[in-house]
Structure 1
């Protein structure tokens, strides 16, 4: 890593070749960039599709694209052009991490698949993001994964149709899994000198993210159903009407339920044997619900939120996204980060570090904005480079480097 390319952060010195587009991959690589990795985003001649996904837009640029691409350098490469393809291969050869979300095998014909890259860069961490695994040709769209994973089947009103999440949550979770896999593989490389192929897919990520719902089937052969905003195992746990709007109440144990009944001035409910334990309340939710709703009708959602929170009962009004940012500020979370010289706003990295905080030196790049920088950067790397010396230094005593993943 050259001094000119160095950046602060826990991933300083790591070079990421980003052959991804749309959401799961770009979200993953943006988080890595926030933490100091040098991320070089490779786009085809048509650019990342999300550049065109409007509205909304900021200064003519799609906010969808801007939201997941800060901190990166961009170069446009046409793999059908021999010169551009040579640049792409050089980048993959020099990178610590290659991340791609082409269809399975889509990069093989360009000499950019795992086997070819590993042949020239044996300790590379190569991360493939697919829709449904390497054996499937189904396109990796989030909404398909939401449908196929069962997520839509458990989302929405009990008497209504299956509903997709309000955000492409499977893409987001898959991006997080890709980042976790890359970091775990880098740790393994530091310890052994060996790279490897990391694979994540939308369907497996969705099944994992369904946690208790998918666990109900895996562990007890129970197929969960839609319950609207209710929780399958806990009650009260969800929105309830008040005098002026809904309030979310999250009672997770018997002690909290007793406190809730005290604040709502319904002590008989707390003493009622039908509602004494969490399992009882869940089984008899249809009997308990009207008791709670009658009591909650006496005050506004804001009043109840204040009273219940003060008593240690988890409760919150349902906010829109703008109000959510205001609440985060009020809680001291500072949710907005500004990137680059243009101070382009975006959502702050979600992880805090006491010694190596995230940095935001680069705004989301325009198409091919950094071609000259990238070509110069690759030219400066040379071989053997600083990364090779660093890897040798971290190799365990007695290791010859033999047996690397091929």
Structure 2
């Protein structure tokens, strides 16, 4: 029986060496697949990103904002780190042979081939398996219901219900500002591959895995899906507030211009907050004494809180809320966030094609024991 060996002397060991013996061939593009490749690269795997020479590489190399003037686009850099970059034309026999060489030593192959392209290019799972019998291939499609249908993240945000819930009551359906469904799919791919590696360690067998943006989105609807399945309630666009908790998601501007969001989930937290704001008389008010009542009268409650926060210094009130154990957050822009100590500790720098690039780590955990 073939065993896949994870070289770990201690769970406190640096995770950048965890997958030193793992070889990954990344034949995927855009965001989901490449972010999975970057995850394994960060964990020490040898990742070779094979790009289409006929299209001058991954399409995201050309996806630039108005402020993006570097040779390597920030979008491409965001999910490409620690990889070897190779461009091949798989319609050419010599390049097809080079691909075979990479596959012969690979453990995992990442693909997001359009339906039929695998047969057109002759790179089906059967082809990979003929080269490496225990290969693990993870293929990403857009739609589970129609694999031939082209799809980017925004399309699936619309078709899996997210856009219908995002925005304000009088605004049109709104896309999230990051490729949310791609990121959901990337997590599904990572989880599936890790299970496949365990299967390989136990049985010596490889795997062919399919993930779709559609199912990844559906699997992430969480309580919104359950509310329909159990209560036949269709969530609408209500801004950032929570339909079942108040005040939760409301934002209030302090006198120094800083916005604060509240996430008050218990009666105790509500009482602590109201005392800090010198609104003790409202704690027992019949409109606010329970969460159910606060949800029913959240507009009036928001007006009270808005007037009170407008008289507060943000640093002072946030310190008091923290001390009292009341969940809150300052609304920060990306600059503010990336200048934080935590974000700086996650920032990864690397030169790609001679260009200095930066991105945040895809790893949001650490082992302490």
TM-score by length of 2: 0.88
Residue aligning to 2:281: 268
Alignment match of 1:49 (pick from 34, 51, 59): 59
CA contact (8 A) 1:104 1:134 kept: no
CA deviation profile, 1:379-399 (whole Å, cap 9, x unmatched): xxxxxxxxxxxxxxxxxxxxx
The worse-fitting range, judged by mean Cα deviation, of 315-324 and 213-222 is: 213-222
1:246 and 2:259 equivalent? Answer: yes
Residue aligning to 2:330: 317
Name the SS for the 1:123 alignment partner: coil
Alignment match of 1:31 (pick from 28, 39, 50): 39
Alignment match of 2:231 (pick from 203, 206, 220): 220
Matches within 5 A, 1:74-223: 74-133=85-144, 135-223=146-234
Residue aligning to 1:402: none
Instruction: Quote the Cα distance in structure 2 between the aligned partners of 1:182 and 1:105.
Output: 23
Instruction: Quote the Cα distance in structure 2 between the aligned partners of 1:190 and 1:140.
Output: 34
1:282 and 2:272 equivalent? Answer: no
Residue aligning to 1:382: none
- Alpha-carbon offset, residue 355 of structure 1: 7.6
- Alpha-carbon offset, residue 64 of structure 1: 0.9
CA deviation profile, 1:271-321 (whole Å, cap 9, x unmatched): 123323323322331232222222222113343222212221111221110
The worse-fitting range, judged by mean Cα deviation, of 135-144 and 42-51 is: 135-144
Instruction: Quote the Cα distance in structure 1 between the aligned partners of 2:104 and 2:244.
Output: 51
Q: Which has the higher contact order (CA 8 A, sep 6+)?
A: 1
Name the SS for the 2:348 alignment partner: strand
CA contact (8 A) 1:70 1:339 kept: yes
Instruction: Quote the Cα distance in structure 2 between the aligned partners of 1:332 and 1:87.
Output: 39
- Alpha-carbon offset, residue 44 of structure 1: 0.7
- Alpha-carbon offset, residue 353 of structure 1: 3.5
CA deviation profile, 1:94-140 (whole Å, cap 9, x unmatched): 31111101112321232211233224323211101111127422212
CA contact (8 A) 2:27 2:49 kept: yes
CA deviation profile, 1:24-66 (whole Å, cap 9, x unmatched): 1111111111001111101011211111112343642211111
- Alpha-carbon offset, residue 159 of structure 1: 1.6
The worse-fitting range, judged by mean Cα deviation, of 111-120 and 191-200 is: 111-120
- Alpha-carbon offset, residue 171 of structure 1: 1.0
Name the SS for the 2:117 alignment partner: coil
- Alpha-carbon offset, residue 354 of structure 1: 4.2
Residue aligning to 2:11: none
CA contact (8 A) 2:136 2:193 kept: yes
CA contact (8 A) 1:132 1:201 kept: yes
CA deviation profile, 1:6-33 (whole Å, cap 9, x unmatched): x952111111110011111111111111
The unaligned stretches of length 5 or more in structure 2 are: 5-14
Instruction: Quote the Cα distance in structure 1 between the aligned partners of 2:334 and 2:343.
Output: 17
Alignment match of 1:301 (pick from 292, 306, 314): 314
Q: CA RMSD in A?
A: 2.3
TM-score by length of 1: 0.80
Aligned residues: 349
CA contact (8 A) 2:26 2:37 kept: yes
CA deviation profile, 1:130-161 (whole Å, cap 9, x unmatched): 11127422212001001111100000111211
